[in-house]
Structure 1
Amino acid sequence: MNAITKFDLSPRQIALVQQTVAKDCNAEEFNLFMEVARAKGLDPFLGQIIPMVFSKNNANKRKMTIIISRDGQRVIAQRCGDYRPASKPATYELDASLKSPLNPQGIVSATVYLWKQDPKSGEWYEVAGQSYWEEFAPIKDEWAENEKTGKNYKTGKQTLDDSGNWCRMPRLMIAKCAEMQALRAGWPEQFTGLYDEAEMDRAKIIDLTASEIVEHEREENRLKAVGASNSITITWGDNWALENVPVGEFFDRACEFIEKEPPAKVAKWRDANREPLKMFWSKHPGDALELKKRLEAAIARPAQKTASDAELRNHPLMAG
């Protein structure tokens, strides 16, 4: 293994790092950042290592994550002695049906292959890293203010963050994430706990720390596994079994239900599904407001009167 570059900054240089590269860090975070930079032999002035502080104004959630730039990653990898960079371009899985403002090129995933040398045989083998667009692209929810309550709510619309390079160079950004995945897979001792900035762009948008975004992704995967990622879990009263209804179908299905069922059953359905209805409100407040009006009208309408036997006998159609 190659020797780590000598890390020897003067007091003046250390102060300059604190004032520039690490200006968002408090004292403890700055000390940790400098120790990691020293241990990895990376130069903050060259942008090889960067501190990223999440929730800067919230003491309970505040957390720093260490970012290693692409140059820094390759510096560390090259020192390992058993690393060779990719010998071919990243490969991409594309789906034209996914093309949209949220995914300009319809990218499903990117895969990068690096080379690692077997210490016993000396032979080189490929180490793959794969990243999926839906897991790393910085897609953010659109929020608006409710004029009546003054509270913010999700409009149901989403946008791809355009403050970085994801809109301009989507292939490059997802490939950077895949390369970091490969580095962690092949050289875990050197890269565990370190992140590429492209990996954290999504975290910046939704204000999650590195560990939180991993848990966030696990939760999304759990929802996808049960078909609930983009759906509302609802019961229709048939033995109170649960059904995952796609968000786009929920309004029509709910309206159909409340129009044909008696007021008492509609009221019972509403009470049993308060949380799903709140979730629908967060996703589509306009449709949710209309659904609320229809619910109230359905519950308020008089129940149909059942005709008595005498009324049936005296009905003109029943006359002998």
Structure 2
Amino acid sequence: MNAVVPLRTPDFSNAQLALIRKTVAADTNQDEFELFVHTARHLRLDPLRRQIYAFVYNKNDAKKRRMSIITGIDGFRTIAERTGNYRPDEDEPSFEIDAAAKGQANPAGIIKATVRVFKHSHGAWHKVTASAYWEEYAPLKEGWTETVQVENGTWPDGNPKFITKPAPGATRTLSLDTSGQWGKMPRVMLAKVAEALALRKAWPDDFSNVYAAEEVDRSRAADMTAWEAAEAGATEKRLAAIGQGETILFQFDPTGSLEPVPLGKIADRVAEFVERHREEVSAIGLFESRNRHSLRDFWARSPSDALEVKKLIEGAMRGAEQVA
């Protein structure tokens, strides 16, 4: 087993901070930039080596504007290496392929990718396995078999505006977004997701609220700059296209994938989880710890609903303690 690497917080020079501000954090404001740099220092990751990114969504809408801090897969591996009890798998990722699944939304017919990592614990190496399913992470574009142009108001110069709508009787279609790396190297991209899930499963505390770009943004490839990602607003556009609107990422299953939950449904989902685990207080406590940053985000966006969720969790914890 490797020796634990001593903690050392990176100290960026003024020139490095200026370069970070102009590149991987180009769309951040002062508060966002300071939070991003603080997070990079805390995780001991280097933005200039593309280990961590700052994505700003809805940058021109103050009410919807938000920043997401995303970690590249190399950043995940760096964090795991620093635990001193991590070993990558010697074998290649494994894939389940089904020819019957091939189509516009899945050209390679990939069902899932599976990755294994090893954690040293109690004097032995233990294998930790996780799988990522294509249908849950591949960036899909919605379309229609036939569309029509419909007039929708006028421009200031008096010319008519037109919008594209599905034609009567048209069928909804889904196709893979090939604008990024998912179309070029689908196995590599899905394997990155599986690896991130395996690392989070093995070291849940170290990877709490640390998300790989492939896990979060299904609409564009991971190998894009923060500027491009912010300009595209990829995740927000995708969520809006499928009717989810503003969402926050939660992980309900400790071994499962991240799930974007619409803001208006978070309280109900958490209530369902608490009710289902009311006799298992440890599961509720771990859920709260695992999603603590998401719950803070929920508090900032919807304080009244978040307060009710807080009361619900605390009530369940107190009730279990009284029974014990």
TM-score normalized by structure 2?
A: 0.61
The Cα RMSD (Å) is: 2.4
Aligned to 1:174: 190
Aligned to 1:115: 118
Select the residue among 20, 24, 48 that pairs with 1:21: 24
Structure 2: which amino acid aligns with 1:141?
E
In structure 1, distance between residues paired with 2:50 and 2:26: 14
- How many residue pairs align between the two structures? 217
Q: Is the 8 A contact 1:200 1:210 kept in 2?
A: no
In structure 2, distance between residues paired with 1:114 and 1:161: 29
In structure 2, distance between residues paired with 1:48 and 1:70: 7
Aligned to 1:67: 70
CA offset digits 1:212-243 (Å, max 9, x no partner): 882359x9xxxxxxxxxxxxxxxxxxxxxxxx
CA offset digits 1:7-61 (Å, max 9, x no partner): 1111222122111110011112111110110001111111111111222223222
How far off is 1:70 after superposition?
Answer: 1.8
1:167–1:187 CA distance, 2 compared to 1 (3 A): same
Structure 1: which amino acid aligns with 2:260?
E
SS for the counterpart of 1:93 is strand
Aligned to 1:42: 45
In structure 2, distance between residues paired with 1:210 and 1:104: 30
Counterparts of 1:76-91 in structure 2, within 5 Å, are 76-91=79-94
1:6–1:148 CA distance, 2 compared to 1 (3 A): closer
Residue 179 of structure 2 is aligned to residue 134 of structure 1: no
TM-score normalized by structure 1?
A: 0.62
* Paired-residue identity, %: 41
The more displaced of 22-31 and 60-69 is 60-69
The more displaced of 64-73 and 154-163 is 154-163
SS for the counterpart of 1:146 is strand
Structure 2: which amino acid aligns with 1:166?
W
Counterparts of 1:279-298 in structure 2, within 5 Å, are none
1:145–1:31 CA distance, 2 compared to 1 (3 A): farther
1:145–1:36 CA distance, 2 compared to 1 (3 A): farther
Higher helix share: 1
Aligned to 1:215: 260
In structure 1, distance between residues paired with 2:176 and 2:83: 37
In structure 1, distance between residues paired with 2:182 and 2:211: 17
Tell me which structure has the larger Cα radius of gyration: 1
In structure 2, distance between residues paired with 1:20 and 1:59: 22
Select the residue among 2, 5, 9 that pairs with 1:2: 5
Aligned to 2:54: 51
Q: Is the 8 A contact 2:9 2:42 kept in 1?
A: no
In structure 1, distance between residues paired with 2:66 and 2:129: 30
Stretches of structure 2 that go unaligned for 5 or more consecutive residues are 153-161, 220-233, 240-246, 251-257, 266-324
Q: Is the 8 A contact 1:83 1:116 kept in 2?
A: yes
Whose RCO is larger (CA < 8 A, sep 6+)? Answer: 2
Structure 2: which amino acid aligns with 1:82?
N
In structure 1, distance between residues paired with 2:248 and 2:19: 26
In structure 2, distance between residues paired with 1:216 and 1:210: 5
Aligned to 2:218: 202
Q: Is the 8 A contact 1:107 1:133 kept in 2?
A: yes
Q: Which runs of 4+ in 1 moved over 4 A?
A: 207-210
Structure 2: which amino acid aligns with 1:211?
L
How far off is 1:5 after superposition?
Answer: 4.0
